[in-house]
Structure 1
């Protein structure tokens, strides 16, 4: 084979690789324009996000001035914000973010005098059913199946046979001694 033909055969894969890379990079510009045209048709999925401590209307109604911090924590849970600089103040904040709806933010502030709840103030909290309805939109409630078998339904199945497997298995005897936990001193 002539030398010129051999050198061209060696550079052919390199030339093909360069041309393929150029074609791929030129396609990136056209894909960007295509994605802009499709943005009105296809929207990315944005998950519903609940951040913070959910506090229901029922929980707020259970609060009474004079309750201890431990009792308040039992009713509301651990506060989202407990500052060292404001030791007598607990903040409960939560936000609900859903696609197509403005973020909903709720705040409840509790003030203590020593170990006792003095007062609390904040937004009107949703009840538990209202909150679940806000989060669980779009789902159609399905019919709940009956989970109880009647005598007629059980009669369709043959009775269980006693195979002797119900007897407790014999346990293996424990070893007389166990290996040491640490290696012996040398």
Structure 2
């Protein structure tokens, strides 16, 4: 039996999550927790790609809509999509209606499957950190970088494999969200827990 993770408004948190309850809940329960499911890693990479140029809370508030519009982020299904599905999604007010990002999701599903799917994608991504989260141990938000040599390398490797909307900054944010980097500030109540 696991101990429940405390989520209360007055707990010390990373500065970026502010005071909005949906953001605090995401921070406390998901962000930085190591993600070992390859399909979920892929979904989170796609959502981080949709975030480009926007704030994460925008994506977070629309995440359920994204999951419905993209049929549960099933890569095998999405990989077969074409112009009719792109046009349908461009009319969906519940998501970010950006043609390039929608088309990149289809391309990224194909690239993900070409790599071998969930287990292969998980193994490839976690191999970059030897299957152990890197620990930033940052004291202030201003110390936390927006990219790194490792996120740059992963970005290059993903692009070489056919992925799009996966630049070094997107990959870095994704690595933080998926727990490959533990970038909870040392003062945050989640730092030692993840």
TM superposition score normalised by structure 2:
0.21
Tell me: higher relative CO, structure 1 or 2? Use CA pairs within 8 A at least 6 residues apart.
Answer: 2
Larger Rg: 1
Bigger proportion of residues as helix = 2
TM superposition score normalised by structure 1:
0.21
